[in-house]
Structure 1
Amino acid sequence: MLVGIGPGSTEHMTARARAAIAEADTIIGYVTYIKLVADLIEGKEIVRKSMTEELDRAIEALERARQGKKVALISSGDAGVYGMAGPTFEVLFQAGWTPPVLDAHGVPEPGGIVVEVVPGASALNSCAALVGAPLTHDFCAISLSDLLTPWPTIARRLDAVAYSDFVVALYNPKSGRRTRQIVEAQRLFLRHRSPDTPVAIVKSAYRRRERIEFTTLAHMSDADIGMLSTVLIGNSNTVVLGGLMVTPRGYANKYDVQAGGTTREGERPGRSLSTGLNGWLENLFADHAAGDSIEALAQRHRLPVEYIRDTLENPLEAAAQDAPEEAEA
């Protein structure tokens, strides 16, 4: 069982995570994570591993499972988000493992090893909850760790999301030896975003040494940041008010909140924005017909020239405007 224990406190673990730990014969994990669940693992076999021994943990879990033991391999946050789920499946696949056939009672074939991923709240969720609602609109996560990923790959991703105006959560932002990565990330973001862009830095969310700091993109690299920190960088609409970091969902584009939520002129409830895909296409064709070049349109909308050209040369049939829209996520 690949168990995500969330930020670490028992009250923030799912019931299934607690049950999985209770069912296990053997608990395997990084020493700090073992300490976080110490009150749940008395009397069990405990295998403690160091920070850089992820593959060792996965191999150990496989060996114990082959011995017929029920194993809980724990990760902080969610096991599938920069956690142990990926490395464990890599080890399993390299060992020739395939998901076993289960009988009507859920029992695997003899010798078969069943794997269950138990989800948990990632650091991204935990830190966001502590500072307000920064992830209400589109967001992504990027790890600054270059222990396994080439820096040019990380830099390209940082540059792309900065340009695209995502809210971004930076994992593994800084360590004792890796101190320049956060500075480089700041440089890349400042190419596309205002120096006043809000930034929240959360260290040890929901743990004993929890610390929250609000700053701006201009001063981000000067803040107290370490391996236990998650850095949340807002988008162009994110604000910090009353000690809370909030990214608007976009309702103000369609509704006049101050006027009781009435629909703005030109907009229709339950329908795409007038600047949504169909409205944008209509304006795009009109502007091009009026003489605007493909290059000028691409620059205006900050989209690739090839995309604008292909759209104008190969128009797709517009979706029905009167069809009711599904509930928004």
Structure 2
Amino acid sequence: MLVVVSLGPGDESLMAPAARQALEGADAVVGYRGYIELVSGDLLEGKEVVATGMRGEVERVTSAVELAASGRNVALVCSGDAGIYAMAGLALEILESRGLLASVPFRVIPGIAAFNAAAALLGAPLMHDFASVSLSDLLTPWEAIERRIEAAASADFVLALYNPRSRKRREQLPRALEIVARHRLGSTPVGIVSRAARPGEKVTVTELAAVDPEAVDMQTVVLIGNSATRRTGEYMLTPRGYHDKYEY
């Protein structure tokens, strides 16, 4: 069996009980080295552990599939939610390409995604429709990413930006902010959350016109409010519309 396990944002208390059960029942655990380190030692004890570095996605998922095809109970671990910019899709693609969908049991354990963890720290920025866009152009052409940002911003979605900036990708975030600024006031609240629920957690609420890209890295999620989002105290609030229909 191949179980793709979502670990959540990092704090063990935010891992779903089903994820813990899947890890307990596995005899092999496969994942990115940094995510394996999020798993407590007692859940890895006595298990085969296969860890790879950055950009080793195909290698580690292939290893997980091959182990599962040999009859092992395999947990393929991902941070956040495995179905959001993670390994659930690649695992299915490889099972499909090898004709193993009928012979290898497959399951995905959902988890708390990075934008959920960031939103909780910011208050209530995702109370209305929102869109999530990754700024990584490793697998998606930048032109397609720009079109998606433009469409989401023009439709007044709250925007969650994943993978906003790395050592090599320094121009994408300023460009994304420039596109959004065509459709939003400079005073639009923006939440910048780094390492949510992990050591070094940092939460900043600023304005669109004041975002400092230098304060953002790959472990950061940027949440840009819509036209109705406002700051309330130290939090961000995107009203759902109750105030238009009810007195409270």
Q: Could you say whether these structures have the same fold, taking a TM-score greater than 0.5 normalized by the shorter chain as the test?
A: yes
Q: For 2:177 and 2:10, locate their aligned partners in 1 and report how far apart those are by CA, in whole Å.
A: 29
Q: 1:223: Cα distance to partner?
A: 5.0
Q: Which residue of 2 aligns with 1:174?
A: 165
Deviation at 1:51, TM superposition (A): 1.6
Distance 1:84 1:36 in 2: 16
The CA deviation string for residues 63-104 of structure 1, in whole angstroms up to 9 with x for no partner, is 111221100000000000001001111111111122x3xxxx
Structure 1, unaligned stretches of length 5 or more? 101-111, 261-329
- Specify which structure has the bigger relative contact order, considering alpha-carbon pairs within 8 angstroms and separated by 6 or more residues: 2
Report if the CA contact (8 A) 2:131-2:157 is conserved. yes
After superposition, residues 92-131 of structure 1 pair within 5 angstroms as 92-98=95-101, 100=102, 112-131=103-122
1:153 maps to 144
- How far does residue 222 in structure 1 lie from its aligned partner after superposition? 3.8
Per the alignment, residue 80 of structure 2 pairs with 77
Deviation string, structure 1 residues 247-290 (Cα, Å, up to 9, x no partner): 100112223x3xx4xxxxxxxxxxxxxxxxxxxxxxxxxxxxxx
C-alpha spacing 1:223/1:238, structure 2 compared with 1 (3 Å): farther
1:225 aligns with 2:228: no
Q: Percent identity?
A: 47
- 8 Å contact kept, 2:173–2:213: no
Deviation at 1:15, TM superposition (A): 0.5
Distance 2:142 2:30 in 1: 31
Q: Which residue of 1 aligns with 2:184?
A: 193
Name the structure 1 match of 2:15. 13
Q: Does 1:142 align with 2:144?
A: no
The equivalent residue for 2:38 is 36
2:104 corresponds to which letter in structure 1?
I
Amino acid of the structure 1 residue aligned with 2:55: T
| Partners of 1:186 and 1:221 within 8 A in 2 | no
- Cα RMSD of the aligned pairs, angstroms, is 1.0
Instruction: Report the 3-state secondary structure (helix = DSSP H, G, I; strand = E; otherwise coil) of the residue aligned with 1:91.
Output: helix
Q: Does 1:253 align with 2:248?
A: no
In structure 2, relative to structure 1, the CA distance for the partners of 1:156 and 1:64 (3 Å cut) is: same
Deviation (angstroms), 1:180:
0.4
Q: Distance in 2 between matches of 1:228 and 1:202?
A: 8
Give per-residue Cα distances to partners, 1:203-245, cap 9 Å, x unaligned.
Answer: 0100011011111111224451000000000011111111111
2:55 is aligned with 1:52 = yes
- Among 15, 25, 28, the alignment partner of 1:26 is 28
Q: Residues 132, 75 of structure 1: CA spacing in aligned structure 2 closer, same or farther, 3 A cutoff?
A: same
Instruction: Count how many residue pairs are aligned between Structure 1 and Structure 2.
Output: 245
Task: Report the residue type matching 1:96 in the other structure.
Answer: G
Q: Per residue, is there more strand in 1 or in 2? A: 2
For 2:80 and 2:238, locate their aligned partners in 1 and report how far apart those are by CA, in whole Å: 23
C-alpha offsets along residues 149-175 of structure 1, whole Å, 9 cap, x if unaligned?
011100000011111110110000000
Bigger Cα Rg: 1
Deviation at 1:55, TM superposition (A): 1.1
User: What are the residue-to-residue correspondences of 1:274-285 with 2, within 5 Å?
Assistant: none
